[in-house]
Amino acid sequence: MRNRKLWVLVTLFACTFQAQAQQRAALSETIKSRVAEVLLDSDARQENYSFKDSHAATASPSRCALKTDRQNLPYYDIELQRGSQSQYSVCLQWKVGVAVSKGDVMLARLSMRTISARQESGESVVYAYFQEGHTPYTKSFVSQIGAGREWKTFDLPFVAHKDFTSGEAVFELAFGSLAQHVEVCGVQILNFKEALSVDELPVTCFSYAGREVDALWRQKALQRIKEIRTAPLTIQVVNAAGKPVKGAVVEAVMQQSDFLWGTAVNESALSGEGAENDLYRQHLKELFNTAVIENGMKAGGWAWDINRKANTLRSFEWLDRNGFRQRGHNLVWPAWKFNPSITKEIALTDTALFNRFIKAQFYERMAYTKHRVVAWDVVNEPMHEKEFFAYLPKDIMVEWYKLAQRLDPEAQLFINDYAMLNCVQSPQNISEYIDTIEMLRKKGAPIGGVGVQGHIGRQPRNPEQVLTDLDLFIPTRLPVQITEFDINTPDEELQADYTRDFLIAVYSHPSVTGVILWGFWEAHHWKPDAGMFRKDWTPKPNAAVWREWVTGRWKTHVKQSTDRKGTACLRGHLGSYKVRVTYNNTVKEVDCHLEKSGSELLVTL
């Protein structure tokens, strides 16, 4: 009965979503009054388009349909079953039937929303551009845009780079980057000629609620951080006779936070030799206390790629020697493309053998990392990657968790997935995720933590919603870690502000025990715009944010003199400390750990 109710709710949600009317942002009357010519208006000439699909002759063709909504307004419904190497493989095109002069100031406008997108942020990836309709296809502009499930209007100002004869110019939207389902409406090209400059035209800027300097949510979050992430550290200094020492200088320096502040590392960059590799290691040691090897521990990169495995082993040992906590990623990623090619052949032959093959790959990796990792992502993305489960029951994951626990009883065992904390459907996805987790736990899976990847696109989710999303995990009583955080946007100011606010939000939430970035250097980042350092190692604003908050404000370094009772009352973030006491020519260092209940330390000179 419960499943039927859930099905009805999901169906109602889907129907409501599909029927949602278009939402378009209007141009100001001042701007509209300066339009010299309308070159394209998809509402007025909705049939005047063409659809190009390089997948048309394959088993998975793309689809484009012209439809009308409840308000009888037209929109284009585009769906790709798979992505391709070129974003231009699937395009929606409109010809411009009038001449355009070089230097004309123009504005491209459209509204768009995403029904689904096969990437972690849940956002579509679309390229908009104005170009010649023939070789060499030179472009006046090209802009990558993307939307979530809510309608968003894009204003894209540009200048014509050449003279176009009537019918020579085209405006196109390219969808080929990934499998996605997108709706587009209100496509316009407006020519202002010389009436306005590009700087006077509107341009789409992404932002989020709660970004303002004095945002109330942030004030409350910072207070929560003080309450749940810090504690008093009381240090009593006495001399050899046990008498209090007044005026001793007490300095407490955090060595390692209890909270995991980490990053994924590229095994070739970390293990290589050269100036770039040295800088990579230098920044890693400066900024992070935890690391996860990005690809080398996965089934497809461990036993089946000798060079990667060698780099992985060197990287693991370097991290171990340098005191990094390490997370293992991952033991099972249940899709063919992430595994050796032989995997599917075995599944097609013998399902029992298939399961044994999966489990057999645990042994070497977990034997190597036993007692040396703090956690393992046992199953990665089971909500999205389900090909294995066509041959094995979903609860086979229980066996995988039990085996992982037997092979390393000390490692915290995580499940890991995406499409949460970053989009309007986040609560729905979290509900489905928790259902899976609880089903596995009831059947005996020793799941010890919840991994939420945290890939953010161009439109961030406001921090208050991130906090209420995280609240949904509280009933599980499991720790939550943000396992693959990044913000993929070229807007560096937005990226920096949201990095600050996301970190403040999650650090203020009692369920969260760590944040792992999915890379930090543009040259070795799966989403280069998301890095904290450019290829030449110049820091971006988000690097300054990380330094200010993670290795600054939240990595306690305090100094105080003892009072007449020989006492220094400090407060710090939870973690391990080195305490140095200096009095006259005497210096003494003591290690201690600051617990949530507070810690007291007696230092005898």
pLDDT tens digit sequence for 414-430: 999 998 998 777 898 99
Task: State residue 20's pLDDT score.
Answer: 58
**What is the C-alpha separation between 146 and 143, in angstroms, rounded?**
10
Tell me the pLDDT tens digit for each residue of 584-604.
Answer: 999 999 999 999 999 999 999
Q: Nearest-CA neighbor of 108 among 98, 94, 97? A: 94
Task: State residue 17's pLDDT score.
Answer: 44
33: Cα within 13 Å, side-chain hemisphere: 3
Least confident of 340-344, 401-405, 446-450, 506-510: 340-344
Q: Residue 596: how many CB atoms within 10 A of its CB?
A: 11
pLDDT at 2 exceeding the cut of 50: no
Q: Residue 303: how many CB atoms within 10 A of its CB?
A: 13
Q: Which amino acid, residue 420? A: M
Tell me the pLDDT tens digit for each residue of 246-299.
Answer: 999 999 999 999 999 999 999 999 999 999 999 999 999 999 999 999 999 998
**What is the C-alpha separation between 351 and 172, in angstroms, rounded?**
47
Listed in sequence order, the residues at least 6 apart from 565 whose beta carbon sits closer than 8 Å to its beta carbon are 236, 244, 246
End-to-end CA distance of the chain: 71
Peptide bond just before 136 cis, omega within 30 deg: yes
List the domains of the chain with CATH numbers. Answer: 23-200 (2.60.120.260), 222-259+558-605 (2.60.40.10)
**What is the C-alpha separation between 106 and 483, in angstroms, rounded?**
43
Mean pLDDT of all residues in 176-196 = 95
Q: Nearest-CA neighbor of 271 among 261, 280, 258, 283? A: 280
**What is the C-alpha separation between 133 and 10, in angstroms, rounded?**
43
Specify whether the CB–CB gap between 154 and 145 falls below 8 A.
Answer: yes
pLDDT at 554 exceeding the cut of 70: yes
Cα-based torsion angle of the residue sequence 83, 85, 86, 90 in order, rounded to the nearest 10 degrees: -30
pLDDT at 4 exceeding the cut of 80: no
Q: Retrieve residue 33's tokens.
A: 């009054």
Tell me the pLDDT tens digit for each residue of 21-35.
Answer: 667 888 999 999 999
Q: Nearest-CA neighbor of 109 among 190, 34, 16? A: 190
